[in-house]
Structure 1
Amino acid sequence: MADRYHHGNLRQALVDEALKLIEAKGPAGFTLSEAARAAGVTPAAVYRHFEGREDLIAECAVQGHRIFTAAMENAFADGQPSPLSAFEAVGRAYLAFAKAHTGHYIAMFESGLSRHATPGLAVAADRSAAVLERAAAKLSETIPPERRPPASIFSAHVWAMSHGVVELFARGAPGANAPFSPEDLLEAGIGIYLRGLGLLPPDA
């Protein structure tokens, strides 16, 4: 089979095809040979750029984390009138990313890869997590220090809620027929959580 791609863009072509396969079949549902065939190259050509299938999926995740970080940073810094509105905007950006970049999202969070699978993945994952931690730290500044949860715990709780909403509504899951939108469901969950921390009055 003649390679369709020049050496300079084959790596990205393989990533793009892998993302389609991940979305269609799941991270464990395709082979490296399928990715190569979809990109129009021989399986041997893949090894010029990736050590194996997990390495290819890791690169999909790295690129996803970069897009994810930029989206959340834009939401956090987009002229929000208060830390609360900024925090809610970050949550909405999370849901929007999962919907618009499903293949990336699956590679990042559902592939079973450790965030330390490659040095680049560890760095990219840490950067995206740091955005949510900054938003959590800013929002919790009004809580007395002795009662203030660590930003890493605070952000992890919100990440868990966000991830749960994505899973509930993703790919024809049961939540797809729920009477609530994913955005409304996440906002309500965050509101309950923030009230528990004393960051919102009971009637807010």
Structure 2
Amino acid sequence: MTDQPRPHHHGNLREALIRAGLELMEEGGPDALTLRKCARHAGVSHAAPAHHFNGLPSLKAAIIARGYRMFAQTMCDYRKAAKSDPQAQLAAICDGYIAFSRQHTAVFKFMFQPHNLDIKTLDKTTATELEHDSIASYRILQQACEPFADENGDNASTEIMVWALVHGYAMLFCNPCENSLSPPQTIPDFSHILPMLKLKTNPARK
């Protein structure tokens, strides 16, 4: 028995395929992601993705770009809800970073896997989104670290230190129940770890 023809997608086909890819990944991880499955999930023909993506690598890149956009939005939401002082802002962004890793674990891990994507082989829209959204998401953390620059105005060391700490924590404990090294009840809250860096604001950088 052959599949029945699927109706033409009258909305934003590219958006529908990205959303379908995100849902498939959340449900079954990266291995669940194929062009045919995305098309089926979006309710379109298996040939439809070719109108927007140069094969599966382009669709994967578009999903990664969307992940970065969602990631940035989560950090911004936490930042808006926090007090305005630099310490509180940085802590909130880190909390948003970790929250995203737990709410969208499969996408989060996929975003930071090595993909060996050649930007030149991607469709123009996807390549632009990937570059813009990845930089924009990192810039949120970067800006939160700027008030803690040293007297010479060098905030790179602080920035890398904070990023390594929060990203390592998020990767290790985005799904605490799967971590075999440390039972969930022994994992300290990140709010107890960040202060150990003893960051001090530079008055000239506030």
Q: If the length of structure 1 is used for normalisation, what is the TM-score?
A: 0.77
Give the letter aligned to residue 179 of structure 2: A
Could you say which residue in structure 1 is the equivalent of 2:130? Answer: 121
Q: Which amino acid aligns with 2:143?
A: R
Give yes or no for the alignment of 1:105 onto 2:103. no
CA contact (8 A) 2:26 2:104 kept: no
**2:167 maps to 1:163:** yes
- Residue aligning to 2:22: 19
Correspondence 1:189 to 2:193: yes
Equivalences for residues 41-56 of structure 1 within 5 A: 41-56=44-59
Report the identity percentage. Answer: 29
Alignment partners' CA distance in 2, 1:115 and 1:65: 18
Give TM-score, length-normalised by structure 2: 0.76
Give the corresponding residue for 1:132. Answer: 141
Map residues 6-85 of structure 1 onto 2, 5 A cutoff. 6-85=9-88
Structure 1 residue 92, shift from structure 2 partner: 0.4
8 Å contact 1:31–1:53 — kept in the other structure? yes
| Structure 2 gaps, min length 5 | 202-206
The alpha-carbon deviation at position 160 of structure 1 amounts to 2.4
**In 2, Cα distance between the equivalents of 1:45 and 1:53?**
12
CA–CA separation in structure 2 for the residues paired with 1:115 and 1:166: 27
Cα distance, 1:88 vs. partner? Answer: 0.5
Q: Residues 7 and 160 (structure 1 numbering): CA distance in 2 closer, same or farther, change over 3 Å?
A: farther
Pick closer, same or farther for the CA change 1:60–1:85 going to 2, 3 Å. Answer: same
Structure 1 residue 179 corresponds to structure 2 residue 188: no
TM-superposed deviation, 1:91: 0.5
